[in-house]
Amino acid sequence: MTIAAKITPTELVGQVTDRFVNQYFVVKLLNSEGMSYTPGIQEELAFVNNNALTPGTFGYNPQIFSYSSADVGNYADAGVGLLQKQCIFSHDGSNSQYSFTHCSVQWADGVILAISADPSALPLGVIPDGLYENLPVTSDGSGFGATVNLTVNNTLAGELAYSVAMNAPGFDYSLSDALEISSATLAAVGAGDGSQGSIGLALETLYLPSNANDVFAIAPTDGLVTLANGNESAFYFNLRQFGYYNIGASES
């Protein structure tokens, strides 16, 4: 006969931790108006790639989220859940609009985990002391969405006068990418007049999982959603691992 067993809390916590903790996901909006996604019928990666909105279109940008060990919940109702995550997609307030019918979640690739100011940073005194936050990172590759906080302390020597910390990690970066905080960005936040040159950045650690870009989930909206006039759309992600197992048993 077959009997149902419940997986122990220790095992479930281990499964959830091994699979999701310290992992990163990229969330994209898709517009496949007139075509729904059916698992096993459409190839999921092709569906995402063929219908994903273009980053930078009227304020739309893919979003990143990750899980830490603190996000793993307690065992309850035969399962272990992860902390709810949220992604907000914005419209830039322009006269144009963008529309979508699905939201996709993929295992991210090329997420910047650690970065530093390059030794070729600008000479002392070029940029006033201070903290300059949420500065976009310019790349010669396909990476997108990274921002950093720049701290300037001209009492320190050489490149040590410039330190950077990740603000948003972005995705799709490569170790061969040439990264910088551009002179135009520095000028825009009052860190120079645009003539002082850029600050080079050195990639130290990238998130490069073996299952990069695999599609985790595709969710349809109730219908075509259109964002305009600076409106926003929020998505909430809740994941729970349940533990049941059928065991074959015999009696004699």
User: Residue 244: what pLDDT?
Assistant: 81
User: Residue 240: what pLDDT?
Assistant: 94
What is the C-alpha to C-alpha distance for residues 124 and 108, in angstroms, rounded to an integer? Answer: 37
* Same-domain check for residues 132 and 199: yes
User: How many distinct structural domains can be found in the chain?
Assistant: 2
User: Residue 194: what pLDDT?
Assistant: 80
* Same-domain check for residues 9 and 98: yes
In the chain (252 residues long), the average pLDDT of successive 10-residue segments reads: 86 96 97 92 95 94 96 94 97 96 97 89 83 94 93 81 92 94 93 86 94 97 95 96 77 62
User: Residue 160: what pLDDT?
Assistant: 76
User: Residue 1: what pLDDT?
Assistant: 73
Domain region containing 129? 111-207
* Same-domain check for residues 142 and 186: yes
Looking at the chain, how many residues does it have?
Answer: 252
Element counts in the chain: helices (H) and strands (E): 3, 18
Q: Which two tokens stand for residue 3?
A: 């009997």
* Same-domain check for residues 44 and 74: yes
User: Residue 252: what pLDDT?
Assistant: 60
User: Residue 93: what pLDDT?
Assistant: 95
* Same-domain check for residues 8 and 105: yes
User: Residue 249: what pLDDT?
Assistant: 64
* Same-domain check for residues 196 and 238: no
User: Residue 139: what pLDDT?
Assistant: 93
For the entire predicted model, the pTM comes to 0.88
